[in-house]
A and B are shown apart, each in its own frame.
Chain A
Amino acid sequence: MSHVFPTASRRKYQLIRNVVVIWLTAMIVAAFALRIPFINILEHTARNLYFHVPMWFTLMAAVFVSAYHSIRYLGSGDAIRDIRAAEAARVGVTFGVLGLLTGIFWSRFTWYQGTEIWWNWDPRQSMAAVELLIYGAYFILRDSIDDPEKRGKIAAVYNIFAASTVPFLLYVLPRQLQSLHPGAEGNPAFSEITDPVMRLVFYPAVIGFIGLFWVLYTQRTRLRLMEERVEDIRFEKETRGDTL
């Protein structure tokens, strides 16, 4: 059936999906089981490294996939590229929102402990919020254009612009500004107090969540292709009905 629906074969999809589920389950167990050194203020929340940071890695991967398909769409005009770009961005932004929410909660009980502050316009958090708004505008833009070809083209151009802001808003600018977030020294995920043993769970977590992204993204792409196919069949039927 792969010639009708140009996505990964069903068997390959199911295999990767099952591996991702087992992989992430093992990762969650390891995230709590692995002993880590006690650090003041952070305490057990150091374990959030395994959950909060991969959200942003996944967003980066999704944005990359999305921009790739937008570029291919501008070259080919193939509707599947537009679908793929939109769905990769949608799943990616979902991970971004989770990254922001988990970050807000984490900061409330570390940076802002004893102050009852939830949000203090920390540059890194603010930039992340702006980035998500830029992608929010991408979906509003898509919804506001009815003609599929026009929508595809304008959305693709905007999406490439949006992707090009990601390195600046998430990497370059926050490192230039005073922030409570680790990273001003160079690496936002690891600092000199991060125990090397944490990498054993962190890297598998990043791979696992990117795998989860792929599963959700493929799921949505399959659904969208099916919708398009139904539309096509309907259209064919109508035109045949007219000529008969």
Chain B
Amino acid sequence: MTRVAIPDLQDAAADTTVSTAYDSIWAQTTQAPVGLETVFLAEDKLYVVLVVVLIIWFGIIFFLYRTDRKIAQLERSLEQDIHETEGPA
């Protein structure tokens, strides 16, 4: 069995002809991530998905809190009604 020669990335980057694999040059010239990208480009960008899920999670929670506040308002106004009907104890 003969091994197929795999072109070296360094050679590909040095090669400036048109046939150069585009993303191998890209891979060579991409700078090291800075700031937020150090976190979110790691693990094949899995943490981006985590944040997207968390955005939806907190959005739903936010909505439930607003509904909760409306229920509390209704409760308060009903309590007041009951007080007025029964009169002060």
Contacts and interface: CB of A to CB of B under 8 A. Distances in A.
Interface of A: 28, 31-32, 38, 40, 42-45, 47-48, 51-52, 55, 91, 94-95, 97-98, 101-102, 105-106, 108-110, 113-114, 116, 212, 216, 219-220, 223, 226-227, 230, 234
B86 interface: no
Interchain residue pairs A-B with the least CB separation, the first 10? A43-B44, A44-B46, A98-B59, A43-B45, A102-B52, A45-B48, A44-B44, A47-B49, A45-B45, A109-B40
Interface string B37-75: 100110111101101110110011001100100110010
Nearest to A94: B63
A113 B41 contact: yes
B10 interface: no
Contact of A219 (B31, B35, B56, B67): B67
A44 B47 CA distance: 9
Contacts of A106: 48, 52
Contacts of A227: 70, 74
Contact of A230 (B23, B59, B70, B77): B77
7 contacts: A32-B49, A48-B49, A98-B59, A106-B48, A109-B48, A216-B63, A230-B78
Contacts of A47: 49
B20 to A, nearest CB: 16
B43 A44 contact: yes
Contact of B55 (A40, A105, A109, A216): A105
A186 to B, nearest CB: 24
B11 interface: no
A42 to B, nearest CB: 8
B10 to A, nearest CB: 20
Nearest to B53: A51
Given A52-B52, A212-B60, 16 more contacts: A32-B49, A44-B43, A48-B48, A95-B59, A98-B55, A101-B59, A102-B55, A105-B48, A105-B52, A106-B48, A110-B48, A114-B30, A114-B31, A223-B70, A230-B74, A230-B77
Contacts of A216: 60, 63-64, 67
A109 B41 contact: yes
Nearest to B46: A44
Contacts of A116: 35
Nearest to B33: A114
B45 A44 contact: yes
